[in-house]
Amino acid sequence: MTYLLKHNRQNNFDRRIFKKLAVVLPVLILILILGFSQPVRSTVSDWFLPLFKTGNYFYETTNKISENFASKDELMTENAKLSNEIENNILDMIDYESIKYENQKLREELKMRPIGLNVGTNVIARPPQIPLDSLLLNSGIASGINLNNFVLVGERTLVGKVVEVSSNKSTAALNTFAGALTYGFVARTNELIEIKGIGGGMEAKVPIDFDIKVGDKIMVNGSSAYLAAIVGAVEEDRSSGFKNILLSLPVDISKINVVFVELQAK
């Protein structure tokens, strides 16, 4: 690479800078004004929708490439294992349906509030396509979604909250999003705990005598109690008198295509 040093007179340089600023500054001001405008965000998301879907399809396909190279024996073993899992799942589903019905009846008898209304939505994009610990969802204000609505996987697993919403799209920040705070309780002891997202995981700092162990479930109260995190490691720091708890989401986000958004604002 060749660099040539160019000597310019100071006045010309100042004039050029001034001319450039005269072009750039109005553009920047316009961009900032438009940045606060909700329709602009909505329109841009709509334009990019096919691109996001293409990227999502690309990552789903590339993740499955390794599966095509498995040996025949491995495939037969996996097939037998999956058949067993299907049988077990059918039995679990029958149990679940009966428990769900019982739960509904008990709620009616005890006059407890019903489980919140949810809207199902597709995940359009996820990391690494978009920033870490966020999900782009295919529903927005038009479907009744509002800021801070809970984002659920299944009926009982809370993974995050809606942080940006436009007419037809919304963005959810997972509980693991850096700086995101979640207030919940330990399912085993009912002790309250504050967990903080650290990007890719969560952490909590509790007094050293706090009763918590690996595998404990952290629940969050919504229209019902949701599972929000699972304790993965407990590190005692005797010098400071605190325990550092490391937690993870209960589900693997890379395998989820549909989430539910609880419509009541929390």
Partner 1 sequence: MYRFLFFLIAIIIPVVFSWWLFIPLALLFVFLAKIPYEIILIGFLLDSVYYFGESFWFQYPLTIFSIILIAVACFLNGKINWHRSI
- Binding residues vs partner 1 (CB under 8 A): 1-6, 8, 13, 16-17, 20, 23-24, 27-28, 31-32, 34-35, 40-41, 44-45, 48, 51-52, 54-55, 58, 128-131, 134, 136, 163-164, 169, 171, 173, 178-179
Quick one: 4 or 86, whose CB is closer to partner 1?
4
Helix (H, G, I), strand (E, B) or coil at 175: coil
Quick one: 179 or 207, whose CB is closer to partner 1?
179
In angstroms, what is the minimal distance from the CB of 18 to partner 1? 11
Quick one: 115 or 130, whose CB is closer to partner 1?
130
In angstroms, what is the minimal distance from the CB of 232 to partner 1? 24
Residues constituting the chain: 266
Quick one: 4 or 65, whose CB is closer to partner 1?
4
In angstroms, what is the minimal distance from the CB of 229 to partner 1? 21
Contacts with 180 (C-beta within 8 Å, 6 or more apart), sequence order: 133, 160, 161, 173, 174, 196, 197
Q: Which two tokens stand for residue 181?
A: 């705070």
Q: Is the dihedral of CA 178, 184, 186, 189 positive or negative?
A: positive
Chain-centroid distance of CA 157 in Å reads 11
In angstroms, what is the minimal distance from the CB of 38 to partner 1? 10
- Where is 39: in which H helix or E strand? helix 38-64
In angstroms, what is the minimal distance from the CB of 201 to partner 1? 17
Angstrom CA distances, 22 to 19, 28, 178, stand at 5, 10, 38
Whether the ω angle into residue 250 lies within 30 degrees of 0, i.e. cis, is no
Residue 65 carries which side chain, given as an amino acid letter?
I
Quick one: 44 or 117, whose CB is closer to partner 1?
44
